[in-house]
Amino acid sequence: MAKMLEFRQLSKKYPGTVSPAVDNFNLDVEQGELIVLIGPSGCGKTTTLRMINRLIEPSSGTLIVEGRDYRTYNAVDLRRRLGYVIQRIGLLPHLTIAENITFVLKLSGVDRTSRQKRAIELLEMVGLEPAEYLDRYPKELSGGQQQRIGVLRALAHDPDIILMDEPFGALDPLMREQLQEEFKRLQQNVAKTIIFVTHDMDEALSMADRIVLMRDGGIVQVAEPEEILRHPADEFVASFIGRFRVLRQASEVSVGEVMLTGPVTIGAHQGLAQAMELMRRRRVNTLLVRDTTKTFIGMVSQASVRHHFEAGETFKVSMIAEMPQKTLKPDDTALTAMHQMLEGNDLELIPVLNDDGKLMGLITRGSLVGLLGDALRVAAEVDPSSRSSEGAS
C-alpha cells in the first residue's frame, strides 16, 4: 500500500523554550489508515498535527507527504490538498452552511453550481436535510450539527488526508459518541487517511487503526488498540491506559480493594427452604454459609439446594455446604485472583477469608472487569490447552 505520510526525525522547538515540543518523531502512515495521536496535555500532539499542514514549520527533520518532501509544496496549496477539523470548529459565521462546506472549493475556483451540488451531496451523507440547512448560518445550528458541518467541510474537496484535532472534544458525551459512530460509518465509505488527535482513550480505542502514544514530544508506543491494551510498552503507557479506562495494574491492586463486601450469606443452622427463598429473593445462585461468629463454613449452589430439597431431605445448609477449591486473602493481589479464577477452571466466584477463616468478602468476575487490560494479558499467559487438561484431570 502507498505511504501517505512519512515522518522522518521530525522535531519542533519553539523559540524561547527549553525542550522541544516534538522530538524526533518517526512514523509511516499507510493510505486509508486512521492514526490516533494521544498523550497527556502538552505532549506535542497539536504541534505534530500542525506541522503536517505547515501551520507550524518544523525545526528539523522532514515530512514526506504523498511521496514529496513537505518543503516542495507551497503551504497554501498543501493545505488545500488536506482536510482540517479542529475542536473549536471555526465555521465562518458570516457564510451560509453551503458556503462553509464548500469553502475550499471556492478558494480553488470551482464554479457555483458544482459547489452547491457537492454541499447537497455531503449534507445527505450525514442525514441533514439539504433544503433545510443549505442556507442557514452556523449560529442557527447546535454544537453537534456545527461540528458535522466542520467534518463535511474537510471532506468537500475530497482530500486524501484529513487532519483532526480533538474534533469531538467540545461536545457532550452523548453527542460525541454519536458523531464518532457517524464518522466511523463515513470513514468506511470514504476511506481517507486520517490523523486524529484526542486525549480521550475511549475515543482512541474505538476509532484508531493504530494508536500513537506520545509523551514529552516523543513517541512512547505505536500499536493497534488491541495490542496496546494487551502489551503496554511500559509503566507510563499502562498507567495512561489506566487513567482513562479506570484500569489499574492488577498486581498493584489488592483483593481487599476490589472485593464485594456484602455477599449474600446464610447462617449454618438454617434450612433448605430458607436457602431457596433467600436465593430467589436476592437473585443469586450461590450462598456463602457462615456460623454465628462469621467463620466461613462453605458454599452451597442453587442446584445442590434444589436437589436435596426436592428429595425431601430436612438437612441444614451446613450439611450440604462445600469448601471451595480456592479462597483468597484480602491482601492477595488482584492478579492472584485472576490467575486463580482462570486456573480454577473458570470459577464464578472466590470467597475472601481473613487469617482466622472469617468471611471478609467475595471476588466475582465483575469485581475484576475494571482490570480488563491485565486480564487479557493473564489470559494470554495461561495457555488454554493446559487449562483444559487441568480441568479434565
Ligand X SMILES: Nc1ncnc2c1ncn2[C@@H]1O[C@H](COP(=O)(O)OP(=O)(O)OP(=O)(O)O)[C@@H](O)[C@H]1O
In angstroms, the CA 267 to CA 94 distance is 74
What is the residue whose three cell numbers read 452547491?
116
DSSP letter for 73, please.
S
Segment contacting another protein by CB under 8 A, of 79-87, 126-134, 181-189, 379-387: 79-87
Among positions 11, 35, 36, 44, the unique one binding ligand X when judged by CB under 6 A? 44
**Three-state DSSP class for 12?**
strand
Instruction: Give 40 or 324: the residue with its C-beta nearer to ligand X.
Output: 40
Q: Which of 27, 32, 87, 17 is nearest to 51 (CA)?
A: 27
In angstroms, the CA 196 to CA 127 distance is 23
Segment contacting another protein by CB under 8 A, of 82-90, 176-184, 318-326, 361-369: 82-90
| 15 in contact with another protein (CB under 8 A) | no
Residue 316 dihedral angles phi and psi, to the nearest 5°:
-80, 155
Instruction: Give 50 or 176: the residue with its C-beta nearer to another protein.
Output: 50
In angstroms, the CA 380 to CA 368 distance is 16
- String marking each residue 45-84 x if it binds ligand X according to CB under 6 A: xxx-------------------------------------
Q: How far is the CB of 342 from another protein (least distance, A)?
A: 50
Segment contacting another protein by CB under 8 A, of 11-19, 84-92, 189-197, 304-312: 84-92
Cell readout for 54 is 505547515
End-to-end CA distance of the chain: 50
In angstroms, the CA 286 to CA 343 distance is 20
Cβ(259)–Cβ(336) below 8 Å: no
- String marking each residue 33-72 x if it binds Mg ion according to CB under 5 A: -------------x--------------------------
Segment contacting another protein by CB under 8 A, of 99-107, 115-123, 243-251, 352-360: 99-107
**Three-state DSSP class for 111?**
coil
Cβ(147)–Cβ(167) below 8 Å: yes
Instruction: Give 5 or 164: the residue with its C-beta nearer to Mg ion.
Output: 164
Instruction: Give 141 or 363: the residue with its C-beta nearer to another protein.
Output: 141
In angstroms, the CA 26 to CA 179 distance is 30
| Residue 34 contact, options ligand X, Mg ion, another protein, none, Cβ 5-8 Å cut-off depending on partner type | none
| Residue 199 contact, options Mg ion, another protein, ligand X, none, Cβ 5-8 Å cut-off depending on partner type | ligand X
Instruction: Give 197 or 362: the residue with its C-beta nearer to Mg ion.
Output: 197
Strand ranges, E, within 155-308? 161-165, 193-197, 210-215, 218-223, 265-267, 286-290, 296-301
273-276's contacts with Cβ under 8 Å and 24+ in sequence apart are: 273/309, 274/317, 275/300, 275/305, 275/317, 276/302, 276/305, 276/306, 276/309
Cell readout for 145 is 450539527
Q: How far is the CB of 161 from another protein (least distance, A)?
A: 12
Cβ(26)–Cβ(222) below 8 Å: no
Q: How far is the CB of 228 from another protein (least distance, A)?
A: 29
- String marking each residue 144-183 x if it binds ligand X according to CB under 6 A: ----------------------------------------
Instruction: Give 21 or 186: the residue with its C-beta nearer to ligand X.
Output: 21
Q: Which of residues 120-159 bind another protein (CB under 8 A)?
A: 137-139, 150, 153
Cβ(337)–Cβ(372) below 8 Å: no
- String marking each residue 7-26 x if it binds ligand X according to CB under 6 A: -------x--x---x-----
| Residue 43 contact, options Mg ion, another protein, ligand X, none, Cβ 5-8 Å cut-off depending on partner type | ligand X
Instruction: Give 42 or 143: the residue with its C-beta nearer to ligand X.
Output: 42
Under the rule (CB under 6 A), what is the footprint of ligand X?
14, 17, 21, 41-47, 199
Under the rule (CB under 8 A), what is the footprint of another protein?
53, 55, 76-80, 84, 86, 88-96, 103-104, 107, 137-139, 150, 153, 163
